[in-house]
Structures are given as structure tokens and as C-alpha cells.
Structure 1
């Protein structure tokens, strides 16, 4: 009797504990019929056991009303172990509840199933919070897309018309104004892209792609983009690539450029006049198929305090408040750099000392491009020297008048006689498509009455037309690209658009062959014939950087005419003073300038002095080298003056 009383006591105690539980507990028999529920079940659902059975049925199959859950429970029985799942259920009041269920099978001593015990937890608040987070993320994405669109729309016009203006006859001061507008526009686009990349990083939506690219060409083009900013501050910017690194690699060259542009931009920003920036690329590890490269960006800038270095890669971080006021910036650049490197399983470190400069070192892995057929062919060209056939008909669908005119003006540079039609919205576009046979439609996305997506669907599905449609939109998020393709568009151009990309898309979708405007090319060649005949100067690099824009080239040439004689004079002065370190630094400053001018002899001399000054400083060779350097420059000076006069 004592044993029975003890057992009854334990059962009552257990029953009390189970009933006080916040979780709902349900016990089913071996045939999956509901036998018992605790008080927590009634508190959670509002139902008593009998009420619940009357409404939902007695068996697990009737209760779950879900084949998937039934399969989960069968798996639980077959594998003889507890299993968890989530599902929705409705309370007595009709409220939809999210329930987390742990289903446990109970067996007797012979291994025969006797019961199933379900313990239900209310996870509705968690699910609602998750849904709120998703909703906020979606709202944030929509906000970013709309903000991007609103900023990119006028920015597209600013940069686009500036490009067109730069291609016209301008005075020297006007060319300066145009260049300043263009630089400011590009800087604004860079900041905007930083914010968009930041949002993609936060949402884990930033992707890395792998394509073949020429490392040296890539770095060469990238460094050349800093020509004006470094020249204005007389900063020497040079790069060195280990000769053992393969010419062609497979990786994300766009993200590599983004990393280097951020780092070099910081170096230019924080390095005072007459400073120095070096980019060195070396091999870290290598095997048959892959290679790890170290990239070092070293400057002689203001430096970063030790205390700030550990936080330098955090978002919205500036070294000090005064740096923001004096130098500007969003504080996102290095954060994005770190994330881009992390995404590629690389590493980045920093070495810096106040007043002496900073070095950022990062490593990335690349595949070797062993398939010669995949190697990329690079062509140097001025896109505005190209031309299109006048036998094609293009429809531009764009609600913004300024952007409409920009596209028209850009296309007409390639072919004035081309047949261009315009539509201010999707409804007008549909009517025009019905009446005309277009070779290509350039479609904006965000428009009144009918947007680009719906317009494209109507043209492709309702009208059954297979016209190539290329989206031109200021929406810059990845999902917009997917939406364009899903709607039936053939391709996508982001605003502000690159004229070269627009030209390529037009050629691609209208089966155009590319022609060069012979008269313009011949004119450029004639203007430069004097330099090429002399075989002393080769301006092909400057022509490539400035797309044969003679006014911009003249500006750089004049800058070199003003500064190089002073630097050569300084070089001789340091020689007389036997100040070998300053000779080395001056030669280093002259070296890239000689490279841009195509003065191969003077470039090699500058390089030789810089590298071997310790070996040749006491030899008879050095004064001869300096005299020859001066004589060669005097000849080059005359040729450059002739080129400037010829190009005016």
C-alpha cells in the first residue's frame, strides 16, 4: 500500500508539473489517437481536449491536415527517435499560431510503440519578429533602389552630357571646367556605389564572379586613371608586378579594381604634395592551377595612429573627426575593402606610422589561365571614333526628357542619320511598336502609366514580337537585373551609362559591324606624325587614357613642360650636393612622367638612376647620364611644344 501511495503521489506531482508547463503537451496512443492534453494546451489554444477533437478530429492525420507532417511523424516512429518541426495552427479565437513541435515516440520494454508525445511551443512572436525583419529588409531594399534611381537619373545626365561636351571644341578654361564636372560626377557615382555595396554586404547579397583578365593591363589602366589627381599634387604613383606572375589570371578583376581604387584613392587623399605611392604585386604561394598574390599599397602620407588601426576596417569609421572635415569621405571604403577581401577568402593587414605613411597589404587567390584560347584580347580605341549604320531603327522609351536627349545625342555621334523614335511612357511605346518595325528598343524601367517590365511583357507576350529590348535604368541592385531578364528583356545597361557599353549593345542586338570614322582617325594620326617620325616621343598611352581628346592631352603636356625642366635642374643640383637620396627620389618622380610621354630612353635612365644610384654615384657614368638626360629632354621639349601648337 505504501508503494501505491508513493506512486500516486509521484503521478500527482508529475501531473501538476506538466499542467503548469507553458508548453502544450499532447499524448497520443499507438494508433495516433489523441488521449490526453495538459492545461498548457488549453492556455495556448483555448480548446479543451474534447472541443479540439470536435473541431479538428481525433487522429494525428486529421489534426495535422498536412501530408508533410504525417511523413515526419512516420519517420520519427520508424527511426525510433524524437523529431522537431514547425507548422501553423489556429486557436479557438481564430488566431493563427506558429508552433514548434517536438514529437517523441514511447516504446515498452519489448520495443513496441505505446504512445506518441508532442510538446508544442508557441513561436509566433519569433516568427513575427523574423517577418518584421524581412519586411524591413525589403523596405530598405526598395528605399535603396528608389534612392539610387533618384540620384542616378540626374547623375546620368550630368556625366553623359559632360562626356559629349568634352568631345566638342572647347577653350582651355572650358576644358578645365568640363573635366572638373566629370571628376565630381564620377566621385559622386563612386560614393553612391559604396553605399549600394554596403547595403549588399549587410544583406549578404554581394557576389564574386570569376573571369579571365590580363593582370598587367588591368593594373596599368587602373593606375592611369589617377594620372590627373597625382599630377596635381606632384605625387609619384608607380607599380611593380613580379615577372613570375602569369600574364592572364581567372578571378574577379572588377572587385580587385574596387579594392585597389579605394586603397590608392585613400593614399592620394592623405599624401601631401611631392609624396610617393607604390603598388607592389608579388607571389605569396603557387601551385599548378592556383596562385596567391600579395598586393601592397604603400604611401608617404599622414599615417594612422596605432589606437585607430584596429578599428580602421569598421563601417563609418574615420581616423579622426578632422580628417573627415579636411579630406572628406564616407568612412565606408576600407570596410568594403575588408568585406570584399573576406568574400574571396583573402587577408588584409596594415602597417602605419604617424608622419611616415601607411602600407596596406592584402592577399587574394586566383586561378591560372592555362587555356590560351580564353586569354582576353585588349583593344585601344576612342569609342566616339566608331560609327553605326544608318539603316537601323531604334525606339527610346524614357520618361525623363534630359535622359532621352542624352541617349539620342550619344547615338547621333556615331550616326547622325540613324532613325530614332521616342516614347515618353510604356503605353506610347506599345502603340509605336505596333506601327513600326524597330531593330532595337532601349527601355527605361520606372515610368508613369506603364513601367518597363509590364511594357516588355506586353510586347513579347501579347503582341508576340521578338524585338531585342535592352533595359536602361537607374536601378542598380542585382535583383533588378534578374527582373529585367524575367520580364523578357534581352539585356541591361545601368545608368549612368558608359557610352562604350551602349555602343556594344547596339552593335550586338542590331547585328552591326563596327566601323571607324576614317576622317577623324586620319586627322589624329596627322597631328601626331611629327612625334612618331622623330621616334623619340610616343603619346599612345596618353591618347588611350584621354580617348584622343587633344585639349586634355595638351593640358597634361603643358603641365609636364612646366614641371620637368625644374625637376631636371633639381636633379643636377642634388648631384652637385651629392645628395644621393634626393637624386633617387627625383628620378622616381620623373620616371612615370617619361612613361606617359613615351620617352623610353629617359624612362630607362630615370629607372637606372633610381635603382642603381648606390652603385653609380661615384662613377664617371652618372654625370654623363645626367647630361644626356638634359640634351634628350631639350629635344623632347621642342617636339612637345610643336604637338601642342598643332593640336590647338
Structure 2
């Protein structure tokens, strides 16, 4: 018996079968069992020959339906067959031959309707259930009106027995059916829940893998692009510069591929969020114009930007994702256009509600175009049209798929028009709220109309600490910040960061997030426990998966930079957090640019003294006023610094000499005295090793180059006193009060503090005041700012004129 039941279970109730199929098999077996039982009991209840025969036929039909549906697999056909033949034909026959409504037959009508609801699908359920109920109501009314058509039971006992048998059989059948139904349902739910948990586990594993992959891949890319950026900025042959630009382009392409994979992962996981914020339409146009020029200029084709003059100045939407959509258009246009032009256009359509427009941005090109039948395939992930034709084109084929997802999330849509061999037009239309209705002026930008300079800043008095467990990454950041003239210290762990902050005051800290032992967040928590700590800390990480930025900002980091670090992003971030009085902005405005004729003359004169004017100006984006300020500072500090160096030499105090030449190294580089800077770096290294012989031989060379640079800068400053049209370059050279000097010391502004002290000493008349100011100057020169603060506060009053 057990084997038989196991056989029935394996054949008709196995998990491999669809849930409705298993339920049908249960009901068919129940119907077959009820038919046999009712036929047998009909003998004892005098149900009559026809009733017994009908029950036997119903049981046989149930068996046939069960067998042939299992063999053929055409279950829906057999569901309908069961409903029509058994429930609509045999049940009425059983009704009239087995006592009508004075029997247990109405209970089977309930069974029939429930079977229909369980087994059939969509509209068939309603239609067949209504038909069944109408038939059953009809035969009951017929039996009432024509009682002679019904074979009634002869005794009350037979009538009672049939009712008991009827509702018992139906109750058992429905009870067993529903029990099995809910058992199968609950089991399936448990399996689905287990599958859901497993899927979540795999999803988390995938997210962790992507996070680690992102970090591991971005770290070497950060080193590659960072050091390559330094090579590009250094003066070298055009051939080397060309090689470097190729490396830069390849690195950015690789980075874009990684970003696309991560973006697709965010979209699939549902973690991508659309954030609406106020933004300036002009900023969107400028950013996309700059990106477009950069993409297209690689291929030597014309690039234009056109904007509707009536576009509102201020919009509300997801600025970042709009840019990402259009950047994908620009990248494709650049890839597939070998000659002609690419045009970026901005337009608008009326919105559906007040204060709303539909922002329309399109990118048209004169490239190879797309076959009409391939346009529909463009937005499939990893699809790149006809692969053999495009096998040399960089990319994964994810860009447009991601762009479409972004557009859909922003309630917008993308349109593509193209003719093979004539070019393409990719357009996106996105609804945006308006927060500033002032219209834009029409403008058209070409690739040749680039801005004059790169901008940036210098901050010789600023102190920045960089924390990263990778020595290569530390070198990259230090190199990228070299032209800012910031004093950059580096440490390789969170523990060393805490020690460094305890000894020295910094204006900003750049900290890697993923470090062994103490990660960035743990280190930041420890820093905040230091009394008086208020230095802004910027998180730097190669982990760019969803929610990392929010996690870091919530932990207390003031900003977030992703690797590879671009020098513009790095400088912009530091400009936003460094004290404003430390920073000198390189605007490279027309009035501050040196005229070409004067520049050539001064360059030739300066070269005689070992000064490369172009080198010094490169730190300042060509701003001659800023260069003159640095030159004057160098000239004014020459005597003092030279005296300190000779004094240290006489005493063989190589540690004191080390600080002097270290300061000289950066000052010389800033004014373009390259050879002097290199020599100072060599002497500094030998001072750390206390190599007496090398230092004694090299110092005369250092003094010679120093004096040459001093004389050359004097002449440069004199030559810069007058500009064409009588415009004079002036540099402020005044005294300074104690409060201002104290602020310089608090901010560790060594060059400015030394210059201020020199002026204060020159303006002072009392020997005691001069002596105390000199003591303070000595402490500043030794980078002992806290001790210098203490001495200055101890003086009291105003130091000028005493």
C-alpha cells in the first residue's frame, strides 16, 4: 500500500509538475473516489440503476481524464472537458436519478463550482462558473415544477443516508483537496522564501565583489592617470606629450567602462536614485560643452553647441544623470564620426503643468549612421550593432542601455533618427521644473573658442596631510598638488595620521577610506576625540558603489573624491575648504597676462640668471601679478635666509640647514629657478644623511645659483613695474598688526608670517622688540608655529613701531 501511494505521489503530485496540474490530479482522484463510493452506497440506499450507473461512469471519466491529461500534458483542454462533460452533463443526470434536491446532490454542485474556480484561467473562470450556477438553479426549478421527472427516495431513511453520504463525501474531498492545496502552497512559499534569501545573499556577494573590484581596479588607474597628469603638465617634447595624452585617453576610456558596469549594477539592484535639485541651465550647457570639446577634439572634427535663447536660467531636476545621458550621446558621436562635425543642441517644449518645461537635448553628427533595423537594438545591454563593423571601437555597449534607464527613471524618453552613411541624431526629452524664468541669451561655442586658462590656485602657507596605505597613491596626490605650493605631508596609516595631527596643525586632510587596521571612518572618529580638532577631512576612495558617498558624508567627512583623482576636482575641493586668506586664485584675466613682446624680452633676460619664467608662470596660469608677488617675497627674504644658511654651515648644524634649503627648494621652484631648486633638493637630502663632504662641496654651487637667481628676480621685478598703456603693477608692502600676524601663525602660513615679521622688524626701533621679533621669526623658520604664537602673545600690545 505504501509503495502504491508512493507511486501515485511520484506520478501525479511530483514537484516537477505545475501547481495547478497537481491540484487537478488531486481533484480528479477525489472525484474518482467519490464516484466509486457513491455507486457502492447507492446499492444500499436504493438510489436506482441509473444513478449507480451514472456514478460508475463519472468515476471512469475521472480516471480517464486523470490518465490522458497526464500522458498528453494538455491540461487546460481536460479542465474544460471535465467541466462540460461531468459537471454540466453527468451531475444533472445524477440529480434527476438520485433524489433531486431531496438528496446529497446539491453538495456536489458546490464541489463543481470550486473545481472550476481552481482549475480554469482568466475569463473562463467567470463564464463557466456562471453557466454552472445557472444550470444548477435551472434543474432545481425544473425538479420543483415537474417532480415526476425526478426519481425520489422512497423512505426518509434513504433520503437522510444520501444527504449524509453527499456532504460527507464532498467535505472529505474538499478538505483533502484544500489541505493538499495549502500544503503545496506553503511548501512552495518556503521554497520561494529560501530562494529569495539565497538571491539576496548572492546579490550582496555581487555588491561586495563589485566594491572590491572597483577599489582594486581604480587604485592602479589612479596611479597611472595621476602620474600621467604630472607628465603632461611637465615641459617636454611634443612626442612625449603625445604619448602621455594617448595614455590619458586610454585610462579615461577604461574608467568609463568600469563606471558603466557599476551603473548597470545599480540599476539592476534598484539602488539608483533620482535626486531633484536646483541647478543653473548655463552650468549644464557649459559642462556638456567642455566634455563634448574634450571628446571630439581627439578626433580632429568640428564641435558646436547651440542653445535656445529662451531657455529658463534655473531648472529643477537630476543635473548629474542628465549629464550622464548626454555624455553617452557625445561619446558615441565622437567614436563613429571620422569627418564633418558634431553639434550639441538645447531646446525646450511646453510642460504639462505650470512652471514645467520639457528640456530637449540632442547630439547630431555626420558619422557612419545606423541601419533602420538596428535602431531598436541600440538600447540592449552589451549590444553594439553590427559587431564586425565596429570591432575596433572602444566600449562595452552599455552606454545607451544605461542612458535609456536614466531617462526612464527621470520620466523622460530618448529618440534616435539616423541614415546609414549620413549621420545620426540622438535626442532626450526630460520634464524639468523651473525655478528661475529669466531666459538665457543665445550662444554658440566652437572647439576653437576655449577659455584662456586652467584656473586653479596657490597657497604657499597651507598645510595638507594625505593619508593612504599605498605609497604610489601618496606620490600621485603630492605630485598633483605640487603646483599649488601647499606644504604636503604624507602618512601610510590611520595610526600615523593621529600622531601627525597631534604634532602639527593642518588646514585639510585627504584620507583614503579603505585602509587596513583602521579604515577612514575609524580614523576620523579617533581624530574627533582629539581636543580642539576641527580640521576638515576629505574622503578619498576607489569604492564608488551605491551608498558609499552617503555613508562617508554621514560619518563626518566634509567632501568625497573618487579615484582616480582628477587634479581639477582635487583643487576645487581644496579651494572650498581651505581658509580663504591662504588662497591666491589664478584667474589668468587679460589684465594680468604678460604681453607677448615683454614676455619674450623678460624670458631671455631671466634665462641668463638661471630663471625659466615660463616655469614660474605655469604655477599661476600665467598670472603675472601673482608671479611678481612671489618674486618680491623671494628677493626680500634672500639676505635673512642666506645668513641662516651660512650660520648653519659654520656650525655644521645640518639639521638647521635642512629646514632652510627645504624652504628654498619650493620657493625656487615657484619662481622658475629650476636649477637652484634641484640643487637645494640635493643638499637637503645630504643634510638628512649628514654627509659633510658632499655638503661642503655643493654649498658654494648652491650659493652661486642662489645669488644668480636673486639678481635675476630683481631685474624681473624692475622690468614688470610698467605695463603697456601706462598700467602699473603694484604690490602691497605695508606693516602688519599683532592680530593679523597671530592669525598667520594659527594658519601655519610660514612665508607670509616670515615676510610680515621682516617688515615689523624693519619698522621697529626698540632693540628689545627687535630681539623678540627675531626670536619669533626663528621659531617660524623652524616651523614651530605654536611656540611662535606663545612668544607673540607674551609680547602684548602692538608690535609695530616699537
TM-score normalised to structure 1 length: 0.60
Q: Are residues 1:493 and 2:561 paired?
A: yes
Q: What are the Cα deviations for residues 385-432 of structure 1, in whole angstroms up to 9, with x where unaligned? A: 411252x5433220111111122223332125x2x4332122333344
Map of 1:282 onto structure 2: 347
**How is 1:163-562 mapped onto 2 (pairs within 5 angstroms)?**
163-227=229-293, 230-231=296-297, 233-273=299-339, 275-286=340-351, 288-370=354-436, 385-390=456-461, 392-416=462-486, 418=487, 420-460=488-528, 465-513=533-581, 515-516=583-584, 525-527=593-595
Q: What are the Cα deviations for residues 526-577 of structure 1, in whole angstroms up to 9, with x where unaligned? A: 155899xxxxxxxxxxxxxxx9699xxxxxxxxxxxxxxxxxxxxxxxxxxx
Match of 1:6 among 150, 156, 162: 162
Question: Greater strand percent: which structure?
Answer: 1
Judge which range, 232-241 or 127-136, deviates more.
232-241
- Aligned to 2:342, the other structure's residue is in SS state strand
How many angstroms does 1:167 deviate by?
Answer: 2.4
- Aligned to 1:247, the other structure's residue is in SS state strand
Q: Quick one: structure 1 residues 395 and 246, their matched pair in 2 at CA, closer, same or farther if it must change by over 3 Å?
A: same
Map of 2:33 onto structure 1: none
Q: Quick one: structure 1 residues 246 and 174, their matched pair in 2 at CA, closer, same or farther if it must change by over 3 Å?
A: same
Judge which range, 499-508 or 295-304, deviates more.
499-508
Match of 2:214 among 137, 141, 148: 148
Q: What are the Cα deviations for residues 113-151 of structure 1, in whole angstroms up to 9, with x where unaligned? A: xxxxxxx66622111111111111111111111111111
Q: Quick one: structure 1 residues 369 and 529, their matched pair in 2 at CA, closer, same or farther if it must change by over 3 Å?
A: farther
Q: Is the contact between residue 507 and residue 514 of structure 1 (CA under 8 Å) also seen in structure 2?
A: no
| In structure 2, distance between residues paired with 1:234 and 1:508 | 35
Q: What are the Cα deviations for residues 73-108 of structure 1, in whole angstroms up to 9, with x where unaligned? A: xxxxxxxxxxxxxxxxxxxxxxxxxxx9xxxxxxxx
Q: What are the Cα deviations for residues 570-605 of structure 1, in whole angstroms up to 9, with x where unaligned? A: xxxxxxxxxxxxxxxxxxxxxxxxxxxxxxxxxxxx
Q: Quick one: structure 1 residues 183 and 523, their matched pair in 2 at CA, closer, same or farther if it must change by over 3 Å?
A: farther
Q: Quick one: structure 1 residues 205 and 529, their matched pair in 2 at CA, closer, same or farther if it must change by over 3 Å?
A: farther
Judge which range, 442-451 or 246-255, deviates more.
246-255
Q: Is the contact between residue 194 and residue 336 of structure 1 (CA under 8 Å) also seen in structure 2?
A: yes
How many angstroms does 1:315 deviate by?
Answer: 0.6
| In structure 2, distance between residues paired with 1:465 and 1:283 | 50
Map of 1:554 onto structure 2: none
How many angstroms does 1:166 deviate by?
Answer: 2.5
Q: What are the Cα deviations for residues 27-83 of structure 1, in whole angstroms up to 9, with x where unaligned? A: xxxxxxxxxxxxx6xxx9xxxxxxxxxxxxxxxxxxxxxxxxxxxxxxxxxxxxxxx
How many angstroms does 1:345 deviate by?
Answer: 0.7
Q: What are the Cα deviations for residues 218-240 of structure 1, in whole angstroms up to 9, with x where unaligned? A: 33442344446545644332232
Q: Is the contact between residue 383 and residue 499 of structure 1 (CA under 8 Å) also seen in structure 2?
A: no
Q: Quick one: structure 1 residues 169 and 272, their matched pair in 2 at CA, closer, same or farther if it must change by over 3 Å?
A: closer
RMSD between superposed Cα atoms in Å? 3.5
Q: Is the contact between residue 214 and residue 542 of structure 2 (CA under 8 Å) also seen in structure 1?
A: yes
Structure with larger Rg: 2
Q: Is the contact between residue 524 and residue 548 of structure 1 (CA under 8 Å) also seen in structure 2?
A: no
**How is 1:564-643 mapped onto 2 (pairs within 5 angstroms)?**
none
Q: Quick one: structure 1 residues 427 and 253, their matched pair in 2 at CA, closer, same or farther if it must change by over 3 Å?
A: same
The answer for unaligned runs of 5 or more in structure 2 is 1-156, 439-449, 600-619, 624-802
Q: Is the contact between residue 279 and residue 298 of structure 1 (CA under 8 Å) also seen in structure 2?
A: yes
Q: Quick one: structure 1 residues 504 and 362, their matched pair in 2 at CA, closer, same or farther if it must change by over 3 Å?
A: closer
Q: Quick one: structure 1 residues 393 and 190, their matched pair in 2 at CA, closer, same or farther if it must change by over 3 Å?
A: same
Map of 2:175 onto structure 1: 18
Q: Is the contact between residue 398 and residue 424 of structure 1 (CA under 8 Å) also seen in structure 2?
A: yes
How many angstroms does 1:335 deviate by?
Answer: 0.6
**How is 1:25-64 mapped onto 2 (pairs within 5 angstroms)?**
none
Q: Quick one: structure 1 residues 457 and 221, their matched pair in 2 at CA, closer, same or farther if it must change by over 3 Å?
A: closer
Q: Quick one: structure 1 residues 427 and 300, their matched pair in 2 at CA, closer, same or farther if it must change by over 3 Å?
A: same
How many angstroms does 1:334 deviate by?
Answer: 0.9
Map of 2:106 onto structure 1: none
Q: Is the contact between residue 506 and residue 512 of structure 1 (CA under 8 Å) also seen in structure 2?
A: no
How many angstroms does 1:320 deviate by?
Answer: 0.7
- Aligned to 2:328, the other structure's residue is in SS state helix
TM-score normalised to structure 2 length: 0.49
Q: Is the contact between residue 384 and residue 413 of structure 1 (CA under 8 Å) also seen in structure 2?
A: no
How many angstroms does 1:306 deviate by?
Answer: 1.9
How many angstroms does 1:371 deviate by?
Answer: 7.9
Q: Is the contact between residue 346 and residue 360 of structure 2 (CA under 8 Å) also seen in structure 1?
A: yes
Q: Is the contact between residue 593 and residue 622 of structure 2 (CA under 8 Å) also seen in structure 1?
A: no
| In structure 1, distance between residues paired with 2:452 and 2:161 | 98
